[in-house]
Amino acid sequence: MGVAAALGACSLGQQTPTLGVYSGRHYNTDQLLYRRFTEQTGIRIKLLEGTDNSLIERVRSEGSTTPADVLVLVDAARLEKATQLGLFQPLRSAALDRDVPANLRDSQGRWFALTRRVRLIVANPQRVDVGAIRTYEDLARPALKGQLCLRDNKSVYNQSLVADRLIQKGHAATTTWLRGLIANVNQPFFTSDIPMARAVAKGDCGVALVNSYYVARLLSGQSGAADRALASALKVILPDPSHVNVSGAGITRASRHPEAAARLLEFLASPSGGKGYAEANNEYPLKGYGDNPILRRFGPFRDDGVPIQELGAHNREAVQLMQANGWN
Ligand SMILES: [Fe+2]
How close is the Cα of 117 to the center of ligand 1, in Å? 10
Average pLDDT over residues 281-294: 96
Q: What is the CA angle 162-166-171, rounded to 5? A: 120
What is the Å distance from ligand 1's center to 14 Cα?
40
Q: What is the CA(161)–ligand 1 centre distance, in A?
A: 14
Residue-level pLDDT at 4: 41
When pLDDT is cut at 50, 70 and 90, the band that residue 7 belongs to is: very low
Question: What integer pLDDT is reported at residue 8 of this predicted model?
Answer: 44
CA 279 to ligand 1 center in whole angstroms? 14
Name the 3-class secondary structure at 284: strand
For residue 136, what pLDDT is reported? 98
DSSP 108-147: TSS-EEEEEEEEEEEE-TTTS-GGG--STGGGGSGGGTTT
Q: Give me ligand 1 centre to Cα 220, in Å.
A: 16
Q: Does the pLDDT of residue 256 top 50, yes or no? A: yes
CA of 179 to the centre of ligand 1 (A): 25
Going through the chain in order, the beta strands assigned E by DSSP cover 18-23, 44-49, 70-74, 88-89, 112-123, 148-149, 207-211, 235-237, 244-252
Q: What domains, with CATH codes, occur in the chain?
A: 15-116+246-292 (3.40.190.10), 117-243+300-324 (3.40.190.10)
Instruction: Tell me, in angstroms, the distance from the centre of ligand 1 to residue 62's CA.
Output: 26
Could you tell me the sign of the dihedral formed by the alpha carbons of 133, 286, 78, 112, in that order?
negative
Give, to the nearest 10 degrees, the angle between helix 76-84 and helix 52-62. Answer: 10
Helix (H, G, I), strand (E, B) or coil at 265: helix
Q: What is the average pLDDT score of the chain?
A: 94
Q: What is the pLDDT of residue 186?
A: 79
- Give the gyration radius of the chain's Cα atoms: 21
pLDDT for the residue numbered 320: 98
- How many angstroms is it from 310 CA to the middle of ligand 1? 20
Is the pLDDT at 2 greater than 50, yes or no? no
Average pLDDT of span 11-20: 75
CA of 82 to the centre of ligand 1 (A): 18
pLDDT in tens, 156-202: 999 999 999 999 999 999 999 999 999 999 779 999 999 999 999 99
CA of 43 from ligand 1 middle (Å) equals 29
pLDDT at 6 over 80: no
pLDDT for the residue numbered 14: 55
pLDDT (tens digit per residue) in 122-151: 999 999 999 999 999 999 999 999 999 999
Res 222: pLDDT: 93
What's this model's pTM, rounded to 2 decimal places?
A: 0.93
